Chain A
């Protein structure tokens, strides 16, 4: 009897290599989607909880709190008072440093912190958009640092070494930076599409390639190094290529913020209104179905990484043409490429969500300095709060994936019925 049985087991599952790859990493893909695709409420709660835990840390590290804790049982009120003072003081300093300074004499001075926040937010939003776009196509772009450095290097070189009329110079510098970022990101897409290399590995490695490449150029006279200097630093940018200040020299906020608003609008249009974005999202959600529907998944990976790289490159451009115009070194990325991952997560990979998350993180940066100056609370607390935000957003899906736990609210079979069955209740009655 068994001799008539078909050889089903042997050839039952033999999809082509691409399919198998997606099968093998299906759970990882789902996890990525869970992490990046949650609701805004999760983001808000993550921020709130992170601030609460941050408050605990502020209280613990406060000297006055430690002192009063010593005689807690005789006078508990002192401890509570000390905790309140420490936390309220720190967070109000954070707020005043980031949004509105109540102690200032006039409105124009009082609002200055907000412009600082927006200045800090500018590169964060740009890089966050890049990382978020890659998320939507199902890819993790950890290469923000490299793409920023390449974008900054190219834009910076055009800005200090090429002489062009005002206006045109700025535009050419921006385009050079975007192109450099796009190439650096596009390489990742190309490698992923052609060889199947995982973008996480490739982006991380390209970070180092970019770092040492820029360091090399910074030490090479005639390349990026300032003439007559031995420091690994570029000369100052020419004034024709610098983002003009938006509100005059009293404020640091520059026109780069407008490019970021434009980038946000562009990404919104791309993802929700354009045909390319439709294909991006299709590949991000289900690469197999996208392929069957005639979408060239490999090309989509390349386009997406190139655009993602260009957006991250815009962050580098903003650094060198707006924030640090006096010449830059290899540390110009300032860790923004990594903060951008947090920004994209917090913004749920949606353009305006990223915009808001970028401003929040800009506020943390601006306010963190004020907090340290005014209350002596270490600025590291801000870093801890940022890390906690990531943790609160990413941890639940990661833990589920690691321990193979079911996702609550997934559309397993019983739930599918939950949608369809109530539509014909009259039949149940029979």
Chain B
């Protein structure tokens, strides 16, 4: 089915989220929608899916103008959406999830699951998905869950499939498999809109690329365009995807983690006997697919986990078993992976957020009183230094863009005297410009002789920053390899295969 968007304009108050966007997706074409976060991609797709009503413009399917009052209309017209966060019920089976919302019943109101199973099998066979209709969603790996989402859309006879940032949760291998599936779908005539901000994927799979910036189409590109060309289209200037960094100036072991084990509230061992050292002046990246214990490892380092055994020694002093306050006071700087939940208080001003983890002593507090004058000066200084784009230090942090929010967290953590810097997913969801800023700052921190741990699920980021890479899988470190290790090897390690040859070298 041919999808055409003509002159879509969507406003939120004074802001134009989509400005006169026109887009044509031919039948059987994979059309990549590339743009930074906040460029207006998701808004556009929500308009297409009937979630928002556009002020101007029209949606055409096979040259017929459509009017969508809601997602139901869009689905009926043949538009399917594969959301970034899966809309699946974990305790239901595949078949049950697929019919959810479109249940067919037999006599007496009983659910006709056999028809659903047959449908799942049929679609699954058509694309070699290899999915058991009776498997429970929670037992399936993420990549397979995503395929269930695809089946769900296809079972509603979707002719246009929208993939909203589909690779964010996948391993490199799963990503490659998804690319194959997208190709297959396109060959059977399904039109695909592929929303992403990852350049490599776009070039690998897209037939055509439309770049959106600040709500408007800024250009079209072919898949043969280079990363640099696409990136500069996205941000409007040339960006470096790899950070300039010199060889590390190693100054001896600063952090030494030995036999660290973390047990979670469900009595599961989430970090299993992990040991590693970090030298002053180097970046150790902890890579791995999300959910393999990195989060808990980070939390254990900062004192947020309670059931921890083993040892965490920073400059010879034991940190395990101490409070978060003590660990922060020992000079550990921390960027939490969930910036909006753990890193910031949305209803606090920038200035208040900048003093958040120093709320109990000098220089922000004297004799129990907040030093408002000092705080304002400090905030003004940091806003300048870290280029936090805001309407002043009294602006609520929740109203900042993701990149600027992260700069607030970064400014707060880096303005303490640090002896260790732990950054978990420091650039998740950020635009290219902010990523560059954060990366530069991290390398500067390293070069000032501070040991740095970067936890990231983004291979690009790991490769760009790391001097050494520790790969985690199922709570264990599969291996610690040099930063120059090829992606393919890292990908295999992220899937649990050890790399003995390189492991021995370090």
Contact = CB atoms under 8 A, between A and B. Distances in A.
Contacts of B174: 5
B474 interface: yes
A17 interface: yes
B4 interface: no
Contacts of A37: 347
Interface in A243-300: 273-276, 278-279, 281-282, 285-286, 288-296
A277 to B, nearest CB: 8
A350 to B, nearest CB: 14
B473 interface: yes
Contacts of A291: 304, 324
Contact of A16 (B12, B42, B214, B306): B306
A418 B214 contact: no
Contacts of A418: 12-15, 17
Contacts of B139: 9
Contacts of A289: 341-345, 356
A222 interface: no
B359 A274 contact: no
B216 interface: yes
Given A11-B270, A276-B368, A292 B401 contact: no
A422 interface: yes
Nearest to B326: A294
Given A7-B474, A285-B345, A421-B38, A293 B357 contact: yes
Nearest to A297: B324
A103 interface: no
Nearest to B236: A427
A18 to B, nearest CB: 9
B389 interface: yes
Interface in B473-493: 473-475
A424 B355 CA distance: 29
Interface in A407-425: 411, 413-424
Question: Which of B171, B215, B291 has the most A CB atoms < 10 Å from its CB?
Answer: B291
Interface of A is mostly: helix
A404 interface: no
B171 A6 contact: yes
A276 B291 CA distance: 36
Contacts of A5: 141-144, 171, 173-174, 495
B114 interface: no
A411 B399 CA distance: 7
Contacts of A15: 264-265, 295
Given A288-B342, A296-B325, A421 B141 contact: no
A14 B270 contact: yes
Interface string B287-320: 0011111011001001011100000000000000
B56 interface: no
B16 A428 contact: yes
Interface in A378-430: 411, 413-424, 427-428, 430
Contacts of B137: 9
Contacts of B387: none
B17 A417 contact: yes
A354 B501 CA distance: 69
A11 B292 contact: yes
A9 B306 contact: no
A411 B398 contact: yes
A296 B389 CA distance: 31
Nearest to B218: A430
B176 to A, nearest CB: 10
A11 B177 CA distance: 22
Nearest to A5: B141
Contact of A419 (B19, B145, B347, B399): B399
A414 B16 CA distance: 10
Contacts of B12: 414-415, 417-418
Nearest to A279: B359
A274 B368 contact: yes
Given A1-B177, A6-B473, A9-B139, A16 B346 contact: no
B193 interface: no
Contacts of A420: 38, 389, 400-401, 404
A25 interface: no
Contact of A8 (B16, B19, B169, B341): B169
A421 B324 contact: no
B215 A6 contact: no
B141 A16 contact: no
B205 interface: no
Given A5-B142, A291-B304, A285 B348 contact: yes
B317 to A, nearest CB: 17
A2 interface: yes
A198 interface: no
A41 interface: no
A79 B364 CA distance: 66
A419 B14 CA distance: 9
A285 B347 contact: yes
Contact of A421 (B15, B218, B348): B15
B167 to A, nearest CB: 13
Contacts of A12: 142, 290-291
Contacts of B359: 275, 278-279, 282, 293, 295
Interface string B1-33: 000000000001111110100000000000000
B370 interface: yes
A274 B43 contact: no
Contact of A2 (B130, B343, B404): B130
A288 B325 contact: no
A279 B356 CA distance: 8
Nearest to B305: A16
Nearest to A14: B264
Contacts of A288: 341-342
A419 B401 contact: yes
B430 interface: no
A419 B169 CA distance: 28
B291 A2 contact: no
B40 interface: yes
Interface string B50-77: 0000000000000000000000000000
A4 B173 contact: yes
A20 B306 CA distance: 14
Contacts of B199: none
B401 A6 contact: no
B265 A20 contact: yes
B78 interface: no
Nearest to B219: A430
A414 to B, nearest CB: 5
Interface in A201-243: none
A2 B147 CA distance: 11
Interface string B140-164: 1111110000000000000000000
B15 A417 contact: yes
B328 interface: yes
Contacts of B343: 289, 292
Interface in B199-237: 213-216, 218, 236
A428 B174 CA distance: 36
A342 B293 CA distance: 46
A419 B400 contact: yes
B143 A2 contact: yes
B258 to A, nearest CB: 22
Given A5-B141, A6-B474, 13 more contacts: A4-B171, A9-B138, A11-B293, A14-B266, A14-B296, A15-B265, A285-B345, A416-B400, A416-B401, A417-B17, A419-B400, A421-B38, A424-B214
Q: Which 6 A-B pairs have the closest CB atoms?
A: A5-B141, A293-B357, A12-B291, A275-B365, A294-B325, A418-B15
10 contacts: A1-B173, A5-B144, A6-B496, A278-B359, A285-B347, A286-B346, A411-B398, A411-B399, A418-B12, A420-B389
